[in-house]
Structure 1
C-alpha cells in the first residue's frame, strides 16, 4: 500500500509538470513541433482544443489512467505517434545496455575482490591491506565523466570502437564500460568490505580443519556477503535505465531515460507519464527480485537469529595516502586562486599546458587552472553538504526499512534531472535547485545499504543473546546495531561524493541551477567536451582533479571506524541483568551476572 501511494504521488506530480512549470503547455508543444511556428492566439487555441488542455490536469490524468486500463497510453503531443510502441522500443534499448553493463560490473567487482578472496580462503587476511587506489578512483568516477573520456580517447583519437550510435554489438562496448566500470568498482568495494567478516566466522575454521580446498571456501564467503550488497545491486539496475541519461545522451542511445527527459523538456505529457511508469514498475520488479534472492541466500538464518556479525573492528587504513592526496588537491586550488577565472585571451584559445597556463586554456582563452580552483569552493562545499544530508537521511530511514524501502525504490527510478524539473516548476530555478534534486535521490542507496546490514545484524547471535539478558531496544540500537552499520555506510557515502559533485554541476549546465560562466567542475567538462579531440587537456584536467577528489574520499573512507565500547565494571554491567522467570527464585547479584558482549570486545 505504501509503495502504491508513493507511485501515485509521483505520477500525479509528473502529470502536473506542465502546469507547475508556470508556462503554457500549448506554447511549449507548439515550439517542440515547429521551432519556427508563430505562437498566435489561434494556433495556441487549436492546440488546446486538440489536446484537451482546457479540461485541466485532473481530467487529463483520469483519461490517461483509463486508457492504460484498456492498453492505450495515448498519443504523443509532439509527434502524434502512439506512446506505447516508442516506450517499448526505448525500454528494449535500455535493457540491452543494462545487460552489457551488468556483465562489465560483475567482472569488475570480481577483480576488486580477488585479492581478499585469495588471502581469506588461505587464512592469510592478516596480510590484507585496504582496497587499492585504482579501484577507489574508478568507483568514485561518475558515468558521465568516464563516458566522455572513453569517447575522446578510445572512440575518437584511437578509433578502436564506434563512439556514437546504436546499430549493433560493437556500439554497446563503450557505453557498457562507462556504466559498468564505476558500478562494478563500487559494488566490489562494498563486497570487499564485508568479506573479512565472513572469513572470520567459525565455519571457515571448520572448513580449514577438514581440508576443504580454498575455492569452495571463497565461494561460500561470497554467498555469505552478497545479501548485504544485493539491495544496492537492485538500485543499480534501476539506475541504469532511468539514471543513465547522460551516457545515453553522449553516445546517442535511444534509451528510456533519454526519452523520458526529452518528453519532460518538451512537456509531452503522455510520453512522460508512460516512461516514468515504466521506470517505476521496473524498479519494483528489480528490487523485489534482489530482495527475494537475498532472503533465499540467508533466509533461515534470518528467521532463526543464527547469523554471526560481519562487523569487525579492523585497524584503520594507511593515513599517508589521504594526506598526500589532500596536499595535492590543496596545492592545485592554492595555485589557481590568485588567477582570474573569467579573464579572456582571444589569442590563447585552446592553448596546450605551458608555464603560463599549467593546465592549458579553454575555447575562450580562459585559464583552466584558475577555473578549477575557483570552482572548487562552490563545487566541494555543496557536494559535502549534500553528501552529509544524504548520509543522515539514508541512515535514519534505513533504520525503518518498511518505510524506506518502497520509497527508495520509487525515488531511485526517477532520473535526477526529472526531479530537478519538478523542483524547478514548484520552487523556481536557483543555485540550490540541483542540490535539492540530487539530495532527493542520493539517500536511497545509503538507506538500502543500511537496511540490508541492519537486517543481518539484528539476526546475529550476540544481539539475540544480549536481548535475552535484558537489554532494551535503545541499548541494542545505540551500542550494537548502529556501531555495526554506520562505518560501512559512511564509507559508502564517501565513495559517492565525487559523483554528487559532478551531478550538481551537470544539472546546473542544463539550466536548472548555476549558469555559465560559473567555473563549476561539471560545467568545465561539459563546455570543453566538443573540443576534446583538438584539446584533450581541457577535459582531462578537470577529470583528473575529480579523480583526485575520488581518491581522497575513498582513502579517507578506509580509515572510517567507530571506537569500541569498553566493558563496564563495578555496579554497572555492560548488559542489564536478566530478569528471573519466577519471582520466587532469588535474583542473582549484579556482580555475578554473566555478561555477554560483542565478540570483538
Structure 2
C-alpha cells in the first residue's frame, strides 16, 4: 500500500501543478489578451479593437476551462502552443533547453556522488573497523546549507574572474559545464553525504554488526553490508535532491548564461510569454518527478526480493556527544553577523556618490561601493532587516497554516506532498507570471512551499497526542472535544512546531534571497541581499567586492543556521 500511496501522491502532485500551470494566464485576474499585446509590442495602445484581434487570433475569447482543455489536449499531442512574443512553436525551444538541463544535471550528479562518498567514507571505514566516530561534522553541514545561486556567484568570481581557469558564460564546450556542475553538485552531494553518514552511525550499533565482527568478517564485507542497510531509507531523499537540482538550476543557469530550461523559464516569466513559461515549468516538474520515480525503483532493487514486501524501517537515531565545533561556529558566525549589520545600520543605504562608483574598500567605505556609488556595507546592514524581516513574516504565516492543517492530518499530508513537488524558484516563476515580480509575490511564493514540513510535523504531533492516555481519559470523563483540543493537544503541538519554524527561518531567508537574485522579488532600490548580489554580478570583473559582500553575508547566515540547528537537535534528543 505504501508504494500505491506514494504513486497516488505523486500523480496528484503532478496533476495539481499541471492545472495551476494551465490556468496561469487567468490566475492574475486580468485579460490574457493584454499580456499578449504587451509581450509583442509594449508601446502599442491597448485599444478594444487590438485586444479583440488578439483574442480572435489565439482563441482567448473562450471560457478558461475550455482553453485549459485545449491546452492540455495539445500538450498530450506534443503541441505546447506558440510563443506570445516570437510566434514560434514552443515545444522545439523547450526540448532544446531540456537537453541542456539534463546534460547539466548529469554533470552535477557526477560531482554530487563523489562528494557524498567523500563525506561518509570516513564513517564507513571507521565503523567497519569498530572505531568510534562522530560523523561528517560541521564542514558537511556548511556545504549542504550553501544555496546553489550563491556558490555559483562565488565560483564565477574566483574561478572565472580572478584565476581565469574556466569560461564564465556560455555553453559551447565541455569546459563551460564545469563551474555550473560544481555549483549544483557540491551542495547536493553534501546533502546526500550527510544523510548517508547519519544513517550509517546507528547501523554500526546494530547487533548483527557486532556478531559479524565476532565471526571474523573482514571490514570491507561489513562496510558493504552496512552501506546496503543504510541506503534504502535514504534513497527517497535522492528524488528530493533531483528536484533541488532542477529548481537550483534556474539560478545557476542565469548566473552562467546557460541556455537551459531554468533560464528559458525565467526569461519567459520576465517577458510574460506565458505559453513558453507553461511548457518550461511543466518540463521542470516532470523532470523532478522522473527523478523521484528513478530513485523509488532504485530503492526497490536495493531492498531485494526478501524485504520488498515489507517496509524497511530507518535505523534509530544515534546522538553523538560533543558539539564543541558547532558551538564555536555558532558564536563566530553570530558575532560576524552582528558586527556587519550593526556597522551597516549606521550608514545611508540609498545615498548616491557618482564620484565613487565601484570604489575599492577603504576607511570611508569598508566594503567598497556599488555601480551607483552607494556604500555596500550600509546596504548589506539594512538588507538584513529587509531579508530577515520578510522571512519572519513568512515563517509566522507558515506556522499558523501548519497549526490549522495539523488538526486535519489526512489533508495536511496530501497538501504537503503536493506543495513539496514545487521548489521555491518554480513557485516564484508561477507567481511572477500571474501577479508580476515583486516583494509580495516572492513572499507568497516562498510561503506556498514553506508550510508543508511544518504541517506534516504538526499532524504527526496531533495524532500522537490524541492517542495519549490522558487525552483518552479526558474523553472518557465526558470532556468536550474543543476543550480537550485547546487545553491539552494544542499546547503540546504549538511549542515543538514553533521551534521547528524558528529553525527554518534562515532557509526561508535564503529562498527569498534567491528570488530577489533572479529579479522575482523586491524591486530596486530595496537593499535585499539577493537583489544586491544580482545587481553586482554585471560588474564582477571590475568590482568583485560588491558581489562578495552580500554573498559572504548569506554564507555566514547559512553557517549560523545549520550549526544552530545541529545544537538544538542534540538538545532535543
Superposition TM-score, scaled by structure 2 size: 0.81
Tell me the CA shift for residue 197 of structure 1: 0.9
Tell me the CA shift for residue 84 of structure 1: 2.5
Please tell me whether residue 275 in structure 1 is matched to residue 276 in structure 2.
no
User: Could you tell me which residue of structure 2 aligns to residue 102 of structure 1?
Assistant: 109
Q: For this pair of structures, how many residues does the alignment match?
A: 536
User: Could you tell me which residue of structure 2 aligns to residue 368 of structure 1?
Assistant: 376
Work out the CA distance in 1 between the residues paired with 2:203 and 2:407: 23
Of residues 133, 147, 150, the one that matches 2:152 is 147
Tell me the CA shift for residue 396 of structure 1: 10
| Unaligned segments of structure 1, at least 5 residues | 455-466, 476-482, 566-601
Of residues 336, 356, 371, the one that matches 1:328 is 336
Tell me the CA shift for residue 508 of structure 1: 4.0
Tell me the CA shift for residue 387 of structure 1: 5.7
Please tell me whether residue 78 in structure 1 is matched to residue 85 in structure 2.
yes
Q: Sort the Cα spacing of 1:564 and 1:106 in 2 relative to 1 into closer, same or farther, 3 A.
A: closer
- Bigger radius of gyration: 1
Q: Sort the Cα spacing of 1:397 and 1:313 in 2 relative to 1 into closer, same or farther, 3 A.
A: farther
Tell me the CA shift for residue 269 of structure 1: 3.9
Q: Sort the Cα spacing of 1:534 and 1:173 in 2 relative to 1 into closer, same or farther, 3 A.
A: same
Of residues 485, 500, 506, the one that matches 2:508 is 500
Work out the CA distance in 2 between the residues paired with 1:532 and 1:289: 39
- Does the 8 A contact of 1:136 with 1:185 survive in 2? yes
- Does the 8 A contact of 1:97 with 1:172 survive in 2? yes
Of residues 172, 188, 198, the one that matches 2:193 is 188
Correspondence 1:380-529 to 2 at 5 A: 380-383=388-391, 386=394, 410-414=418-422, 416-420=424-428, 422-423=430-431, 431-442=439-450, 474=468, 498=506, 500-508=508-516, 512-529=520-537
Q: Sort the Cα spacing of 1:441 and 1:218 in 2 relative to 1 into closer, same or farther, 3 A.
A: farther
Tell me the CA shift for residue 326 of structure 1: 1.4
Please tell me whether residue 113 in structure 1 is matched to residue 120 in structure 2.
yes
Tell me the CA shift for residue 564 of structure 1: 8.1
Work out the CA distance in 2 between the residues paired with 1:539 and 1:73: 38
Q: Is the partner of 1:74 in helix, strand or coil?
A: coil
Q: By percentage of residues, which structure has more helix? A: 2
User: Could you tell me which residue of structure 1 aligns to residue 489 of structure 2?
Assistant: none
- The RMSD of aligned alpha carbons is 3.9
Work out the CA distance in 2 between the residues paired with 1:430 and 1:444: 23
Q: Sort the Cα spacing of 1:171 and 1:225 in 2 relative to 1 into closer, same or farther, 3 A.
A: same
Q: Sort the Cα spacing of 1:409 and 1:279 in 2 relative to 1 into closer, same or farther, 3 A.
A: farther
Correspondence 1:11-90 to 2 at 5 A: 11-34=18-41, 37=44, 39=46, 41-90=48-97
Correspondence 1:221-240 to 2 at 5 A: 221-240=226-245
User: Could you tell me which residue of structure 2 aligns to residue 317 of structure 1?
Assistant: 323
Q: Sort the Cα spacing of 1:229 and 1:505 in 2 relative to 1 into closer, same or farther, 3 A.
A: same
Of residues 348, 358, 363, the one that matches 1:355 is 363
| Unaligned segments of structure 2, at least 5 residues | 1-7, 470-491
Superposition TM-score, scaled by structure 1 size: 0.78
1:471-515 superposed Cα distances (whole Å, 9 cap, x missing partner): 99557xxxxxxx9xx99xx99995x76553233134346665432
Work out the CA distance in 1 between the residues paired with 2:412 and 2:300: 18
Work out the CA distance in 2 between the residues paired with 1:14 and 1:148: 30
Tell me the CA shift for residue 359 of structure 1: 1.4
- Does the 8 A contact of 2:149 with 2:251 survive in 1? yes
